Amino acid sequence: MASIPAYERDPSLRSLLTEVVQAGDDRGRPFVVLADTILYPDGGGQPADRGQIAGVTVEDVRTVDGTIRHYLTGPPPAGRVTVELDWARRLDHMQQHTGQHLLTAVAEQRMGWRTTAFHLGEQVSDIELDTPKIAPEQLMGLEEAVATEIRACRPVTARRVSQQELATLPVRTRGLPEGFTGDIRLVEIAGVDLNTCGGTHVGSTAEIEALKLLGTEAMRGGTRLFYVAGARLRHLLGVHHERSAKLRQLVGTSDDELPAGFSSKLDQLKEAHRTVKALEEELAVECARALALGQGPVLHAHWPARDLTFLQRVAKELARLDPERIALLTAGAEGQGAFVLWAGERATIDLAASGREVAEILGGRGGGSGRIFQGKATGLSRRTEALARLRTHA
């Protein structure tokens, strides 16, 4: 491996001719180590690159015991190979990452907030700040200050320095790892920030394009601040715009009126639910009355479009009207029905035993309490059989 990998020497390289120096297998995952690489391995909050080596897809890049392993989806190539970088993904990472450097530096200089962590997410990224609360106007001020630095097209450069030199520089660092020896890599945003970092960055703040703060979340000991930068920001705006258009069409209002429009639709829906509930209540009462007029010791009815709750309401009403008899009530479609076996308080039937019998015939299971035995029924076509059995008990 070249002492400084190509992705670090020139982060704009998209393809590289190099050599496979080792091929291996890590628990069923084939990998190669290259003489040099333009694929950045996962580290420092920046996810690993993707790409291809001699046409074989690289699905992950990791540093293991000081060497960079390129994990492949197919058999490892050998000898001289061309490495191709998934540039869109890398540029996106460089925009989020360089955006983070700038955001962190501006937050520290303008507000005195220190960054304690950084996450480059798949959709949005965030930094953790050591401040308990951020007011909306502070957020706006911070975003404006970052935008000013983006417009200033400040060069972003990287270099390596010795530990002795590091000690003389005004570097923003959280300290070197215990026992670290060798050179330290510094990344500088001219006139704004100097900090230790091993990642890849765009060449100027202008290449960040834009950075939008998306809000905060309280966390123990600080505040998480969400943001998007670069091409992601345009993409995200596009997604939101399209979604708004669909919602406008659904609700029939302008963008500004969408929240009020939805709120009013939800109110209407609640009102409609209340009406349906009241009508079902009335219907259950009417159905029970009609049933009670029936002949024979076992009353019965089936409602294809109703459910178990409706059957319970009918049974409740029957209890008021007819204390002598029993009723088998069913609802729903074949395969997904429900049943209620009800017995009036003066009916002499072993409700639990009969209930289990009915459940078995109707291909379901159930349980009972009081004067009701209820359950699911998958075989409603056998209702007649269940009724015949009940009549032998009643």
List residues near Zn ion by CB under 5 A: 197, 199
Residue 291's φ and ψ, nearest 5 degrees, are -65, -45
Q: Where are the alpha helices (DSSP H) in the chain?
A: 6-9, 87-106, 136-151, 163-167, 231-251, 258-292, 308-321, 351-361, 383-393
Q: How far is the CB of 61 from Zn ion (least distance, A)?
A: 17
Question: Between residues 118 and 303, which has the closer beta carbon with respect to Zn ion?
Answer: 118
* Cα(78)–Cα(34) distance, integer angstroms: 10
In one-letter notation, the amino acid at residue 384 is T
In the bound complex, what is the minimum distance in angstroms from residue 270's beta carbon to Zn ion?
A: 51
Nearest to 46 by CA among 162, 160, 133, 125: 125
> Least separation, in Å, of the C-beta of 194 and Zn ion?
12
Question: Which is closer to Zn ion, CB of 46 or CB of 223?
Answer: 46
Query: What string of DSSP letters covers 340-391?
Result: EEEE-TT----HHHHHHHHHHHTT--EEEETTEEEEEES-GGGHHHHHHHHH
Q: Give the three-state DSSP class for 160.
A: strand
Residue 184 CB, nearest approach to Zn ion (Å):
13
Q: Based on CB atoms, which residue is closest to Zn ion, 89 or 248? A: 89
Minimum CB separation of residue 209 from Zn ion in Å reads: 17
CB of 98 to Zn ion, least distance (A): 7
Q: Which is nearer to Zn ion, 199 or 222 (by Cβ)?
A: 199
Kindly give, in sequence order, each residue whose CB lies less than 8 Å from that of residue 154, ignoring residues fewer than 6 positions away: 189, 190, 191, 192, 204, 205
Contact 150, 205 (CB under 8 A): yes
- Minimum CB separation of residue 187 from Zn ion in Å reads 5
Nearest 10 degrees: Cα torsion 166, 171, 174, 179: 0
Question: Between residues 81 and 197, which has the closer beta carbon with respect to Zn ion?
Answer: 197
Could you tell me the smallest distance in angstroms from the CB atom of residue 192 to Zn ion?
Answer: 13
Buried residues in 161-173 as b, exposed as e (16+ CB within 10 A): beeeebeeeebbe
Smaller CB separation from Zn ion, 146 or 197: 197
Place of tokens 């009915």: 358
Query: With b meaning 16 or more CB within 10 Å and e meaning fewer, what string describes 192-215?
Result: bbbbbbbbbbbebbebbbbbbbee
User: Is the distance from CB of 364 to CB of 380 less than 8 angstroms?
Assistant: no
Question: Between residues 5 and 355, which has the closer beta carbon with respect to Zn ion?
Answer: 5
Which residue sits closest to Zn ion, CB atoms considered?
197
Residue 158 or 394: which CB sits closer to Zn ion?
158
Distance separating alpha carbons of residues 70 and 91, to the nearest angstrom: 19
Say how far apart CA 363 and CA 54 lie, in whole Å.
61
CB of 85 to Zn ion, least distance (A): 18
Judged by beta carbon, residue 31 or residue 40, the one nearer Zn ion is 40
Cα–Cα distance measured from residue 349 to residue 327, given in angstroms and rounded to the nearest whole number: 11
Sheet holding 222-229, edge to edge: 115-119, 125-129, 222-229, 211-219
**CB of residue 206 to Zn ion, shortest distance in Å:** 17
Q: Smaller CB distance to Zn ion: residue 11 or 355?
A: 11
